[in-house]
Chain A
Amino acid sequence: MSQGGKRVQKKESIIQAALTLFSVYGFHKTTIPNIAKRIGMSSGNLYNYFPSKEILAQEIIKYTSEVLGEEIRKINQQKKLTTYKKIHKIVEVYFKMAIEKPEMIEYFLRVYLSHREVFVGECQRMVCVAGFITEIMIFFSDGVECGELRDQDFFSAFGLFMGYLGGMAFLNGEAILSRPLKEYTDDITQNIYNALKT
């Protein structure tokens, strides 16, 4: 493996470890030495990758958003799919992530939304989640353009869609749901579609 490839892999493993710790212990209680220790790395070396905990936190949100954005992008690019099918696929992708990588969702709720002071400067407002937001925007505007979705303000549609999915992931995390999360996919797709269609 090349030098660069190795570096990327290292970076990803740091992110993965930090993600877990942040989502379990919270932002303030997690320290750089904790993270370094978890992957058997010296703190000094970790600082070569991320100069501060804040920057690490920002990189994680960027990373998460890119992963999710990449999945939705694949859906958006399937021009033949109906909007209903697209919603279904987005819900599937989101729930899959909530199940397989619950720490990502946890992280988003526990760190990104509750420690806004960390996400300033280069990570203001939507910058770090741009990868994801852009794809959702494209999904919405394509849906309106082909006449399947009702034209409205972006955020009223976005809030409905993402708030709903986030809420379900939260209920799932708290083990409140009576059925496995995946089994809700059809109903939730139908509900979102009904709420947004023309």
Chain B
Amino acid sequence: MPKLKKPTILWLQSITCNGNTHSFFSHPDFVALMQKFEIIHHPILNTKYTLENVANENLTCDVLVLEGAFRQTGMKKANKEIYDIAQKYAKKAKHIITAGSCATFGGIFRQYDTKSIGGFCFDGELPNETYKLFKKKLISIPGCPAHPRWIGSVLSMILTHRQIPLDELHRPLEIYAYNAHVGCSRSEYYEWKIDVSRYGHKEGCLFYDHGCQAPFTHANCNKILWNEISSKTRVGTPCFGCTEPTFPKKNLWHTTTLMGIPASMPIGIPKRAYLTIAGIAKSFTIKRLNEPIIKYKK
């Protein structure tokens, strides 16, 4: 049997913190997964080609992974505009993955200059010119950073020719159809509308006062957990909505309210429906949910 050629992968960075590279490196099957590809270039692995080769030559590229925000001019690597390098390989690639919110929507680094910095195909939530060229092969994996499994699973789905249904921002539905609140260990407190009294308690929800954006953030962090073990909300930190084109919003540690009523509703829930349930839930004082769940002796 002839030996099948491995597909090639090229991981290219633009304006970034390298968070997605390090996040993906924490995937338990990182090495096994990468071995299924021929790596053209990668930011931290020793690769056959240098970035100068990538910039100046015309190498093969089946899967292009982009990390970091883009600007059309003013961001050179090896004397070439990184945007042009990305375009060159995007044309050849069969699949383009934007890993992280910067490459997808512009993310944190877009905030420096929203006019000229954006994602590769979206500026915030709006598709840009580049989008038209590549929409057929674009997969968005936003997140700040993207969860290792999001990147790993999409790469595996590509390898195994599986169907990847996407939402309108090109995020895979199998990952982003959930909201980040699903699976949170505080969800009982959410149901009964009991906010955490202050940071540092396992009891209480962070939605009403403490800025948690999970109910309206598309992500499955609390379902699959971070680093196999935890999540922001499980350790009492609010979800900052890092997978959304609006990330980073302002006042990240406070819930934006309108007359004390959360301004953003859980995905698809009308305000009237939410308030009806919330008002009723709030009317009851559930003893168990208003005291520490574990009692240690002094």
Contact = CB atoms under 8 A, between A and B. Distances in A.
Contacts of A127: 279-280, 283-284
A152 B260 CA distance: 7
A181 B263 CA distance: 36
A127 B281 CA distance: 8
For A124, A125, A137, A145, the residue with the greatest tally of chain B CB atoms inside 10 Å of its CB is A137
Contacts of B284: 124-125, 127
Contacts of B275: 134, 137-138
A133 B259 contact: no
A47 interface: no
Interface string A138-159: 1011111100010111110100
Where chain A touches its partner, the secondary structure class is: helix
Nearest to B262: A141
Contacts of B260: 152-155
Interface in B247-285: 257-261, 263, 271-272, 275-276, 279-280, 282-285
Contact of A154 (B259, B263, B276): B259
Given A134-B272, A134-B276, A141 B258 contact: yes
B259 A141 contact: yes
B279 A154 contact: no
A141 B271 contact: yes
A124 B283 contact: yes
Contacts of A134: 272, 275-276, 279
Nearest to B273: A134
Nearest to A142: B258
Contacts of A135: 272
A138 B279 CA distance: 12
B280 A144 contact: no
B283 A151 contact: no
B276 A140 contact: no
A144 B283 contact: no
A132 to B, nearest CB: 10
A157 B257 CA distance: 14
Interface residues of A, number: 24
Contacts of A154: 259-261
B258 A140 contact: yes
A138 B285 CA distance: 24
B290 to A, nearest CB: 14
Contacts of A162: none
A74 to B, nearest CB: 13
A166 to B, nearest CB: 19
B22 to A, nearest CB: 40
Interface in B109-138: none
A135 B273 CA distance: 11
A153 B259 contact: yes
B279 A126 contact: yes
A149 B259 contact: yes
A145 B284 CA distance: 29
A155 B260 CA distance: 8
A130 interface: yes
A140 B279 contact: no
B264 to A, nearest CB: 11
A130 B261 contact: no
B207 to A, nearest CB: 15
A126 B258 contact: no
Contacts of B280: 126-127, 130
Interface of A: 73, 124-127, 130, 133-135, 137-138, 140-145, 149, 151-155, 157
16 contacts: A124-B283, A124-B284, A125-B283, A125-B284, A127-B279, A127-B280, A130-B276, A130-B279, A137-B259, A138-B271, A141-B258, A143-B259, A145-B258, A149-B259, A151-B258, A154-B260
Instruction: List the 10 closest A-B pairs by CB distance, nearest first.
Output: A154-B260, A144-B258, A141-B258, A125-B283, A140-B259, A141-B261, A127-B283, A134-B275, A130-B279, A126-B283
Given A127-B283, A130-B279, A130-B280, 15 more contacts: A124-B284, A126-B283, A127-B280, A130-B276, A134-B272, A134-B275, A135-B272, A137-B275, A140-B258, A141-B261, A143-B259, A144-B259, A151-B258, A152-B260, A153-B259
